[in-house]
A = this chain, B = another copy of it.
Amino acid sequence: MYEVFRQYINSKTTITDAEFSLIQSLGTLKKLQKKQFLLHEGIVWKYNAFVCQGCLRTYRIDDKGNEHILQFSIENWWAGDRESLITGNPAQSNIEALEDSVILLFTQEQFLTICKEIPSFNTMVINILEKSFIAAQNRIHASISYTTEEKYQSFLNSYPNIANRIPQHMIASYLGVTPETLSRLRNQAAKK
């Protein structure tokens, strides 16, 4: 499973075998079965988590008890609650496996050691953070500018490999509409 992470790093930067050995020595693999949780809200999140295999959802629960999905994480993506990690406050998010999954965990301390020892890894991490921020900004733009149908199409275009392995009502939750609305929208779009 470390091979997946090695491939991921290779696609973004260059590191030596010795450097990867360090990474490997500090990481921990964790297996999750479908429906198991990586994080429950109220717990302080302390890791950097890389998804080697499977699919996770990060969601929050509002006052009325409705779930809202903030993010899906599949192979070669990161998962976690960055706010909890940085601030040390209890997480507001839950992270649940939607499939049997394998996660590579680094505590923040381990992660910072790797960043310090391997400058190219550090650069990669900052790049990822920047790209994540840009993606978040674009999602905000979509949320205030697009119609529901445009948001849906944009999701399908951006993440076709996620869309085809999760139930439709979770896409609705991610988009911020009810499952009924998404169902109707698809029907009407199909009629054209």
When chains A and B are docked, how far (Å) is the Cα of A146 from the Cα of B66?
Answer: 11
| Interface residues in chain A, defined as those with a beta carbon under 8 Å from any beta carbon in chain B | 60, 62, 66, 68, 70, 82-83, 86, 126, 129-134, 136-141, 143-146, 173-176
CB distance from A98 to the nearest CB of B (A): 18
Q: Is the CB of A139 within 8 A of B141?
A: no
Majority DSSP secondary structure for residues of A touching B: helix
When chains A and B are docked, how far (Å) is the Cα of A83 from the Cα of B70?
Answer: 21
Which chain B residues border A175 with CB–CB below 8 Å? 144
Which chain B residues border A82 with CB–CB below 8 Å? 130, 133-134, 137
The residue on B at minimum CB distance from A174 is B144
Which chain B residues border A83 with CB–CB below 8 Å? 134, 137-138
The residue on B at minimum CB distance from A83 is B134
Instruction: Decide: A145 near B86, CB < 8 A? Known: A126-B126, A129-B130.
Output: no
